[in-house]
Amino acid sequence: MMQGKLRKMMTDLSDTVQYRLPLIQSDNSTALFIDMNNLIGKKIKLHFHDEIICTACGGKTKKSYSQGHCYMCMKSLPECDMCIMKPETCHYAEGTCRDSDWGDEFCMQKHYVYLANSSGIKVGITRGTQVPTRWMDQGAIQALPIFEVKNRLMSGLLEVIIKKHVSDRTDWRKMLKGIIEEIDLKKYRDEIVESCAAEIAALKKEHGDDALTALNEADLVDIKYPVLEYPEKVKSFNFDKTPEIEGVLKGIKGQYLILDTGVLNIRKFTGYNVSLEHE
């Protein structure tokens, strides 16, 4: 049996995505890393020990906010601010960022606007350092960066323009059923850029030519996941309601474990003290 505080699974892009599950130990400085691909096809059991530890301050919390934070950290930390969910509302330039040093490192850096195919075509944004991790976390089977921009605000403003023509959401249930057909993302990119040409030109005029760069020669990224069998119906587990979850691990996609008894979103339960057993 292995025990620790959950973090989102780490991924490596290979012929098939490779997953490692970190379990943070009691000293908060070491972790066990479980090779989850090796457990596919085996029966596993996950048990929640009724303890949630804030990933920021290390204190106990009865409820997890913003993927693993206590209430006070959620209200005060920059990574929990509303502009993380809505980057077009970034207020760094106004001098009101919760932590300008954090903003320098995470927001005032190169970002990409991309198209992906997770449950159908969608638009999204990510930091340059999160390519291709972001796409694997979303369960995308295809991804194509279409613009490079100079900061998070620009990525948000550009995404707002593009999502008038294509969704920015993933239907996680459809994504987990594994019935996603491949899409010609380059064709969609060209059509969308043409449809948004006037608004994109206005954005460059306001923020400068160097604010965004079209990536017309970017390569399409294909992603395959280690799944033996997709569920016909998707039943989602919740540690708060079901502290012990067990079943045969049929596969992994995005941040979901796919069991023969249901699916579990590991990222949703960041900070939960959990033990894992397997046959």
155-188 tens-digit pLDDT? 999 999 999 999 999 999 999 998 899 999 999 9
Structure tokens at 131: 């390519």
CB atoms within 10 A of CB 51: 13
Q: Report the pLDDT averaged over residues 193-203.
A: 97
CB 156 within 8 A of CB 111: no
Q: What are phi and psi of 134, to 5 degrees?
A: -55, -40
Q: What is the pLDDT of residue 98?
A: 97
Higher-confidence residue of 27 and 225: namely: 225
Whether the per-residue pLDDT at 214 is higher than 90: the answer is: yes
Cα 188–chain centre separation:
23
31-43 tens-digit pLDDT? 999 999 999 999 9
Structure tokens at 16: 């098939």
pTM: 0.95
> From CA 269, how far away is CA 195, in angstroms rounded?
40
| pLDDT band for position 12 (cuts 50, 70, 90) | very high
Cα 109–chain centre separation:
19
Q: What is the pLDDT of residue 229?
A: 96
